[in-house]
Amino acid sequence: MKKKLLSISVVAVASVFLWSCQREAKLWKPTPPIPGLEIVPQEYSINPTADTLLVTPGGTTLFIPANCFVRVDGKEMEGEITVTYREFHDAIDIMLAGIHMDFYSMGERRIFTTAGMFEIDAHNGDNKVTFAEDKEIDIRFASQYQGDDYSFFYLNPETGAWEWVDLPEPAEVNVEKVEALKELQKKIPKNYLGPDHFVLDYMSFLDIYFNNNWRAINDNKESKAIRQKLEAYNARIYNINLSGDIKFLNGYYKPAELLWKHLDNKPFPKWAEKIVPKWEKVNDKWVDKNCKFKPLGYNLYELTLEHDGKVFTKRMEAVLPLKNLLKLKPEQWQAQYDEAIELVLEEQARVDVMAETFRVFSINQLGIFNFDGLMKMKDWFRVVPTFTLAEEEFVQGDVMIIFGDNSGYAKLGQNELESWFRINPETKPRILMVNSSRELFYYPIQNYSNWDTKTLRATQLPEVTFEMERKIVESVDELRTYLGFK
């Protein structure tokens, strides 16, 4: 692992203690806009004299070497060290923690897009600790984002400003998640009741339904009740009787004996129902020149039909024999499908929270860190905003602009609205205000469909009215739902 460390000055412990007492009241600390909705840190008790590997619920690992910490007051360590740690993976997490995403470079305000942020602290009972000389924590951060266009930053508590530290190692792809997604795909059931499925020939379907009972077939071939029972399987039923033998798993079937699935959404032409075999002997084998099934592997076929100079080609998948389909009623297939889908969704939820990548870094300072890039805002343009609620103009505290992909946000005071407010309507940024009473004032994203964006872009500092809605939020899930992030 390539080591990258924050550069800090080593001073006498007594001096550090004196400095911290004088400056502690002035240190920057995050202020959650809706107290109680911010992510709560995990607490870990560790033996300060032993190597420790912490694994967080999200998959991040922190290697803390023995004797990593010393007390700020210079006294000997007593008992265990308590390490507190929390992660933030999108703009909602970060905003609710009260951490800003502004980065100033050469006097210009830029906004971060995050690949993940974390905060780490430690103490020995009621006593503050700091890193011992030449000690650091190795962090393998579980990120929900791919790509390497992210640098490593540290939020300086003296200034409240983000400081660039270094470029991290290239992100490690989470192989476990890649394999889990492959396995998940295998578990997704095939819906035998979907519009993509079809039966080639109704009479063959009827034959299988009555188990070759020709009298029953003849008596019921015009029966509307029987046809409705077969149509209840919700597969398109054609009247195309094709020749040939189809290999499906370990057996061979006539094409009309199988349930098929469209792979190209090409419907059969009406003339396909008129096709009759045109047999020719090729290499001592009789073949139908009007109907050709070309195997593509894994029960996939390319079908070519010819009739009166017309040619039709489509790709299709053999799903299962019709006799097996008829073993269950349509509602039973649906119940099995629903049950299987529920299990798949549970598994999908587990896989979704797994890291896309791991980002590796080493730190020798406690505080707030992030893996971030800088938002490229070339398609954003300035507007002069007005906010209304129930048709009355109002502003409720700071205005938040959350990027449409929830990767970053800007917080604007009332005095910044005319000078900085930017928007890119195509990406549907969320415009909102919140207060400590859990009131959310937000601009519904569906209203962007009413914008004449072309005219606005062509206008110098256009005036835009945002008609806000009000909700009381009791949970982070509610907030995400109202903003359209769930």
272 three-class SS: helix
* 88-101 per-position pLDDT tens digit: 999 999 999 999 99
* 238-293 per-position pLDDT tens digit: 999 898 888 888 788 999 999 999 999 899 999 999 988 888 887 777 788 889 99
Cα of first residue to Cα of last residue in the chain, in angstroms, is 37
Given a cut of 70, the residues of the chain with pLDDT beneath it are 1-25
- Beta carbons of 124 and 420 less than 8 angstroms apart: no
Q: What is the pLDDT of residue 25?
A: 54
269 three-class SS: coil
Instruction: From residue 408, give the alpha-carbon distance in Å to each of 375, 388, 428.
Output: 8, 25, 13
Instruction: Report the predicted TM-score, pTM, of the whole model to 2 decimal places.
Output: 0.71
What residue type is assigned to position 465 of the chain?
A: T
Determine the distance from the C-alpha atom of residue 368 to the mean position of all C-alpha atoms in its chain, rounded to a whole number: 25
For 13-174+355-374, CATH number out of 1.20.1250.20, 1.10.287.3610, 2.60.220.30, 2.60.120.650 equals 2.60.220.30
Token pair for 126 = 């009621």
Q: What is the pLDDT of residue 367?
A: 96
Q: What is the pLDDT of residue 69?
A: 97
Which residue ranges make up each domain of the chain?
Answer: 13-174+355-374, 197-347, 381-483
Pick from 42, 72, 26, 50: nearest CA to 365: 72
Q: What is the pLDDT of residue 15?
A: 36
Pick from 466, 429, 431: nearest CA to 450: 466
Report the alpha-carbon distance of residue 483 to residue 26 in Å, rounded: 35
Which residues are bridge partners to 471 per DSSP? 440
Cα-flanking dihedrals φ and ψ of residue 31, to 5°?
A: -120, 105
Q: What is the pLDDT of residue 19?
A: 38
Determine the distance from the C-alpha atom of residue 218 to the mean position of all C-alpha atoms in its chain, rounded to a whole number: 55
> Strands 279-282, 285-288: parallel, antiparallel or unpaired by DSSP?
antiparallel
* 136-159 per-position pLDDT tens digit: 999 999 999 998 889 999 999 999
> Strands 384-389, 463-472: parallel, antiparallel or unpaired by DSSP?
parallel
**Which residue carries 């990027």 as its tokens?**
403
